[in-house]
A and B are shown apart, each in its own frame.
Chain A
Amino acid sequence: MLPDKKKRIGVFFCHCGKNIAGGLNIEALIESSKQIQEVSYVVDNKFSCSEDGQVDIQKAIQEQKLDRIVVVACSPSLHLMTFQRCGEKAGIEPQFVDLIDIRKWTMHGSPQKIAPEKALEKSKKLIELAVKRMRLKRLIPMAEIKTEQSALVIGGGVAGLEAGLDLADKGYKVHIVERLPTIGGKMALLYKVFPTNDCAPCILAPKTAYANIHPNITLLTNSEVKSMGGYIGSFHVKIVQNPRYIEADKCTGCGECVEKCPVKVKDDVFSAGMGQRKAVYIPYDQAIPKKAVIDAQNCLYFRKGVCRLCEKQCPTNAINFGQKPKTVEIKVGAIIVATGFDEYNPTEKSEYGYGRYNNVITQFQLARLLDIDGPTKGQLLRPSDGKEPKRIVMIQCVGSRDVSTNPYCSNICCMYALKHAQIIKEMVLPEAEIYICFIDMRTVGKGFEEYYSRTREIGINFIRARPSEVIQDTETKDLSLKVEDPEIGRLLKLEAGLVVLSCATIPSSGTEQLSKTLGIKLDKDGFFKEMHPKLRPVETNVRGIYICGSDQGPKDIPNAIVQAKAAASCADTELRKNKIKLPQFIVNASKLKKGGR
């Protein structure tokens, strides 16, 4: 502990050009600051963060023999590090450098801007408090800890896989936790992907296959994170591995059990409700790991104690009805969260009839129907009677840009509607007429505008309007809707065999729980919140935990990949230090807490 000698505190005012000086009397603040106890030097400069500004601060520290400083300028999340580094160069311990934000009260356009007199009054108080805090502050002892050379990735979609593979290739041990029985996420189920329309599973396979055999990667499928404790460099994580009721090391994925199983149920996850699977199943052909899994909720043995046909059939005796959930405990240096998204369930937008009318489906369901390896082998047949629809109407922004559901734009729906229209027109039902009702067409990525042009060129109809409701003919199950085409100023009545809703992208179920488990924040829409929307897009409020992909906000695959690589790079930047300094109390508290949050 420091002896209680008199402190020499310096207060530095930044004008931030006109941002601060334009909305506040700095002279008056300088005068009042000089009166505060143990303040021995007060000065202002135009831009404290500029090279000149920093040199001035360093000179003052040395000439005035200052031992603590308070910089009165802008947000600590932006510049505290700048001034700590600046002070450290002149010999001040970083903990004794503080930055307080008064700019938010003075800057043009700031949502918190207030009148100059008010700003002056509030600034005075804030400065007094900051100086007092500096005067009384004791040095917090720091501990040096070793960073585990390993990482945990939560979510095995394309984003999680990319981040995991990057880290594994850099030499870290990586655990990928996926709650479904297979990795791959939504991308594996998309059939084709814009803007090039290549086969989604084909371009995903290099990643899933590599993750499966990478010597540095451990895949934990059917698993979820239960608790987390510790700090960057040393997170303790408990993972629950739910039973497959199949011994993974024995199962060869031959599918004999599936063949024999008498129970058929709707496949809500991998066919989006458009097809069926057995009670014992392999998610799809390219599933990784390609191992069967028993769905205990529907299995006859678990429900009624009978059957066990799969057990008799299995050539390698892999079935094990006695499997129990297993807890795995790991210690990792960093965590990357890539839990992706869910498609919004449009039942609550009852005017469009989803859930009431069989021939109203979602775009994700359409993606499954179009997939030649999907539940209908690529045939586009309407659910009510298995007939080919002659006219298809797509409705954009269902549950997006809608203040009664989700106010934000879901980013990808314009593009996937164009994609599905192209696929139907060019590959599935060339005779079908397709109408897309939209509010704004957003095609801003590289090559996306050309994609839109091509969709118009092949004869897809676009109507810049949103229908008010969908009505079903009770006999034919045909649908009809009216839209006002603003280009001609007339109401159009569209009769359709199939209506497809382009539904919002929402955070995946369980996101809120995970945010509590990990102690990371959510934004107002329920996605994980980044540290700074522009400058720190993949860091979170917990150092060492990063986010990427569509759990941070709706996005397409190219952007999910960019974020995944960024997250891996951030984790690497910290882990490669091998040792980092953390406040001793954090290390202590975490020891006491043992077992985590």
Chain B
Amino acid sequence: MEKEENNGEYIELAELDPDFKSEVMKHEDAKGLNACFACGTCTAGCPIHEIFPEYDPRKLAKMVKLGMREEVLTSPYIWYCTTCHNCEQHCPQNVKFFNILNVLKNMAAKKGYAPNAWVEQTKQIIKTGLVFTTDEALFKKRRSFSLPDLKLDGSKVKKIIKLTGIDKIKAQIKG
């Protein structure tokens, strides 16, 4: 049989990567994925989906199941999650989509797909142990409101980073 020309009209099974799902599901956090029955409760309750319809938890869950590795991991939207946990709270099948998303983000980061802002922030956390840094301007402003100076100490977080090896992952971040 002659091969039909396919210019993106349909997905060919051969293009899919069946190992992707099992790779994701190897993580304890993603074990519930197979239970998903595509009811869309997660999507309906997702505040990000409302603004960026392209980010769709129900669709992502299906894309992972089908094995659409590249599309999922390179999607910029998986980084838009606000971590509100709505999807997880209301899911009738206890799929924990939020946790699956974390697994996906980790996989994407290792591949170097993490967006720049995210990489920069990670670098800063690794360096300082702090999500936000402070400077004299901020203190000045606080003093004008009669608020005390902040003593921010990131050393414990830095210790955790060392112990868990998160900084090693950084080495693989190309961004």
Contact = CB atoms under 8 A, between A and B. Distances in A.
B45 A486 contact: no
B44 A466 contact: yes
B53 A490 contact: yes
Given A468-B86, A489-B56, A483 B93 contact: no
A403 interface: yes
A468 B49 contact: no
Contacts of A397: 39, 92
B40 A484 contact: yes
B62 to A, nearest CB: 10
B44 A404 contact: no
Given A439-B37, A484-B40, A466 B50 contact: no
B37 A440 contact: yes
Interface string B135-157: 00000000000000000000000
B99 interface: no
B90 interface: yes
Contact of A489 (B46, B53, B92): B53
Contacts of A26: none
A402 B50 CA distance: 25
A465 B44 contact: yes
B42 interface: yes
Contact of A467 (B37, B41, B89, B93): B41
Contacts of A440: 37
A353 to B, nearest CB: 13
Contacts of A351: 89-90
B116 interface: no
A486 B58 contact: yes
Contact of B53 (A464, A483, A491): A491
> Helix, strand, loop or mixed for chain A's interface?
loop
Interface string B40-64: 1111111001100100101100000
B94 interface: yes
Contact residues on A (Cβ < 8 Å of other chain), bracket: 20 to 34
Given A440-B37, A484-B58, A486-B58, A468 B92 contact: no
A489 B40 CA distance: 11
Interface in A392-441: 397, 401-404, 439-440
Nearest to A483: B44
A498 B53 CA distance: 27
Contact of A468 (B38, B41, B53, B94): B41
A484 B56 contact: yes
A466 B41 contact: yes
B44 A486 contact: no
Given A484-B56, A489-B53, A467 B92 contact: no
A469 interface: yes
A439 B92 CA distance: 11
Interface residues of B, number: 23
Contacts of A401: 37, 92-93
Contacts of A468: 41-42, 44-46, 86, 90
Nearest to A440: B37
Interface string A461-479: 0001111110000000000
A351 B89 CA distance: 10
Contacts of A483: 40, 44
Nearest to B59: A489
A543 interface: no
A482 interface: yes
Nearest to A468: B45
A45 B87 CA distance: 57
B39 A404 contact: no
Contacts of B45: 467-469, 482
Nearest to A493: B50
A501 to B, nearest CB: 13
A401 B43 CA distance: 18
A102 to B, nearest CB: 32
A403 B93 contact: yes
Contacts of B40: 464-466, 483-484, 486
B44 to A, nearest CB: 4
A321 to B, nearest CB: 50
B5 to A, nearest CB: 26
Given A465-B44, A467-B44, A468-B44, A484 B49 contact: yes
Contact of B44 (A402, A403, A491): A491
Nearest to A402: B92
B44 A484 contact: yes
B3 to A, nearest CB: 30
Contacts of A404: 92, 94
Contacts of A484: 40, 43-44, 49, 56, 58
Contacts of B38: 439, 486
Given A466-B44, A467-B44, A491 B49 contact: yes
Contacts of A490: 53
Contacts of B49: 484, 491
A401 B65 CA distance: 21
Q: Chain A CB within 10 Å — which of B58, B59, B86, B90 has the most?
A: B90
25 contacts: A351-B90, A397-B39, A397-B92, A401-B37, A401-B92, A402-B92, A402-B93, A403-B92, A439-B38, A439-B39, A464-B40, A465-B41, A465-B43, A465-B44, A468-B42, A469-B90, A481-B44, A482-B45, A484-B40, A484-B44, A484-B49, A484-B58, A486-B40, A490-B53, A491-B53
Interface of B: 35, 37-46, 49-50, 53, 56, 58-59, 86, 89-90, 92-94
Given A466-B44, A484-B58, 13 more contacts: A397-B92, A401-B37, A402-B92, A403-B92, A465-B43, A465-B44, A466-B41, A481-B44, A484-B40, A484-B56, A489-B59, A490-B53, A491-B43
Closest 10 CB pairs of A and B: A468-B45, A402-B92, A465-B40, A468-B44, A466-B39, A484-B43, A439-B39, A466-B41, A403-B94, A484-B40
